[in-house]
Chain A
Amino acid sequence: MASVQAARSDGSPARDPWSDARIRTAVVGCGAISSISHLPAIARSERLRLEALVDTARERAERLAEVYSVPFVTDDFRALEGRVEAAVIALPNHLHAPVTIELLRRGIHVLVEKPMALSSAECDAMIAAAESSGAVLAVGLEFRFFGAFRFVREVLVTGLLGGVTGFDLRLGLIFNWPVASDYLLHRERAGGGVLIDFGVHTLDLLLWWLGPWKSVAYADDAKGGVEANAEVELELKNGAFGKIELSRTRNLRNTCVITGELGCLQVALWVENPRLSLEVGGRKLSLVGRVTEPCAVASFEEAFSSELTDFAEAIRTARPPYVGGAEGRKAIELIETCYRNRRPLKLPWEAEH
């Protein structure tokens, strides 16, 4: 991220916008992602100060408030008005839009966890609420801060691979995330399964790297509940065609391969300090390694910190955040289209008896 402490044109040092006061911030929703990532990141931040915790499970919020010395705990986010300038929303997915909109209308800046919302209509309402109140709306797609993924975008934007012809992304994780709530098991609260859960990260990256999409075919294994496995076949406006495979019950290759007329790029997904492999010159020259300085964001911890720093700078300097509402909306629109055109995924061993 660019530093905000640039010198002024007259040579006098820039005023440090953080010297007045750190941004009083609330965390709304004190589940796993908050306690593991957001709270420690805000506690580390020099730009934000933890002012309030909100959770309907009050006991949990109070326990965390004690750990992080947070002065105010409530089970009603409406009580935040007048107390905080900014809020990080880490609620179950179906609450992202309504709570974000209410806070934005009260002039509170919002960083909303992924997925931004459950539909593009909800995204539009969130964007409109931010525009009318002037509050910042940022979306928690922290993967965009990773040095390796920004490097991929640079390679593609600068045309090193030539015209992109295809891509193949596979991400499958059997993980034991210590979730506090079981909302991920319920369609009405989660909005879907693996596609909207960690699939939103991968679709966001792909669209950010490769540009807008044209058509999509989609299949998953849900039978009235939330899908654990999903397959997306995506055609992009630039003519490239590719496949995305996502799983919560299998470990997959966990890389994205992007093929262009002049070369091929593979990047590891869902690991810290992802490794890249780049083949150019008719795929005769290859380079394998990791992205280092100056864009050194390599760990989830650093990514969350960068995301918060960017959010704070957007608030203080009145510039758009790195990942704003319009950006967050892109993957949601694609996910919405996938679910609308869903076909059942065939699992050969699931024959009935």
Chain B
Amino acid sequence: MSLDHARAALSGKKILVTGATGCIGGRLVERLATECRVSIRALVRSVPRAFRIARFPIEFVRGDILDAEIVARALDRCDIVFHCAYGNTGSEACQRAVNLAGTENVLKAASRNRKLLRLIHLSTVLVYGITEDGEIDERAPRRYTGGVYPDSKLDAEERVLECARSGNVPATVLQPTEVYGPYASVWTENVFRRLTQRRVLLIDGGDGWCSPVYVDDVVSAMLLAATSARGLGEAFLIGAAQPTTWKEFYTRFENLLDVRATVPMAAGEAERLYRQSRRRRRGLLSEGLKIAFRNPEIRNRLGRTREAELLRRFARLVPAPARRRLKSALRDGGPPGGRGESPMTADRPLELLDPLMIRFYRRKTAFRIDKARRLLGYEPRVSLDAGLELTGAWARWSNLLPPRADRPND
């Protein structure tokens, strides 16, 4: 199966994308709209977040993935469903609900849709937990790690595979590795943000392995999986052809930003620092506020109080640069070192990693993509260099990078 075949096979199909306002779902909509002759429907919760995909003539169904009736309406008469929605905001319970109950709603509606040819469920490589060194493929055991996202994605994926294997829903599961590229929150936007505001640890000098995959390669895998007869009831790892070290990955982002903000550190030292920071006691007020502010509902309500309004008014009297410094200090617990400021990074806060993340950055796992190659015809086509060049072009356009000398007004 080639991409051309996949595009041809998709022709004339009615396609639903959930999570279409996210990085992968958004790029999927762009590619479907520009490369395939399909009719696209998107289930969206937030109108402003949908502006990126509203550039295309697509049908919007507005509502929440947790609303079974809306999901059923969204799936109505669809041939193919790409389920990319996942919980990334709100409380942990809310995120878990989006991943589990949301997927249940999709499965229920899919099992009732007799026209449905394929459900592509976007999972994650994190369902394998923090893996050991060495090669790993889809036969590896799934493991909980204790995190809301990976654990609920694991449960959701198992439900999808269960439904597929029992013949209820023609589903395929894709497990992308570290997805980067335009709009990718964790492995692009956050990397830029972290490297401009903090000092970022490279565990064991960044010697551990990652498998960065450009968003377009993931989307290509989705198009292939949607049209391949050989992926039913199967899960596929979707990653890079070869592992890359974290040092290589982060250095490329540093180069784009023209900043040196990584700090090589041995795993033991990083763990010691982390334990030390945990021992430092916080006061009742700061701890209470910290917990309260984690919940967006509480944050909003606190923000609407008279006292908050007074604080805002007071803050308007503070000159802008001082206000920015204060805001940054309050948010990150330390002074900023963002764009346009001193290139010196020594005064920035050090980003501490918990033991789980230290293990994540330390491991040398090579995720094999042979199964996706063999059964789907998947092949990562965008090299890390090419992908970072495209990402850089997007980031510069998005004002995430310092301007080039030829555009002084940016």
B-contacting residues of A (Cβ < 8 Å)? 168, 170, 172, 174-177, 179, 182, 184-187, 193-194, 221-228, 248-253, 257, 272-273, 275, 347-353
Contact = CB atoms under 8 A, between A and B. Distances in A.
A109 B52 CA distance: 37
B398 interface: yes
Nearest to B394: A349
Contact of B48 (A179, A348, A349): A179
Chain B interface SS verdict (over half): helix
Given A226-B54, A350-B30, A184 B398 contact: no
A351 B214 CA distance: 13
Nearest to B53: A225
B397 A250 contact: yes
Contacts of B34: 223, 350, 352
A179 B47 contact: yes
A177 B49 CA distance: 10
Given A194-B51, A349-B394, 14 more contacts: A170-B409, A176-B49, A179-B47, A185-B54, A187-B57, A193-B55, A222-B55, A224-B57, A225-B58, A348-B397, A349-B181, A349-B393, A352-B34, A353-B216
A193 B399 CA distance: 21
Contact of A225 (B31, B35, B57): B57
A308 B381 CA distance: 58
A349 to B, nearest CB: 4
A152 B3 CA distance: 55
B25 to A, nearest CB: 15
Chain A interface SS verdict (over half): loop
14 contacts: A182-B62, A184-B54, A185-B50, A186-B54, A193-B51, A223-B55, A225-B55, A226-B51, A249-B51, A250-B398, A253-B399, A253-B409, A348-B393, A353-B3
Given A250-B399, A252-B399, A353-B381, A227 B55 contact: yes
Contacts of B33: 223-224
A351 B398 CA distance: 17
Contacts of B54: 184-186, 193, 225-226, 228
User: What band does the interface of chain B fall in when counting residues whose beta carbon is under 8 Å from A?
Assistant: 35 or more
Contacts of B47: 177, 179, 182, 184-185
A188 B49 CA distance: 20
Given A185-B47, A353-B381, A249 B60 contact: no
Nearest to A184: B47
A248 B51 contact: yes
B52 A353 contact: no
Interface string B244-273: 000000000000000000000000000000
B316 A349 contact: no
B390 A348 contact: yes
A228 B55 contact: yes
A109 B29 CA distance: 44
B49 A172 contact: no
Contact of A353 (B51, B56, B220, B398): B220
B22 interface: no
A185 B60 contact: yes
A228 B410 contact: no
Interface in B36-90: 44, 46-58, 60, 62
B239 interface: no
B192 to A, nearest CB: 13
B337 interface: no
Nearest to A268: B320
Interface string B1-44: 00100000000000000000000000000110111000000001
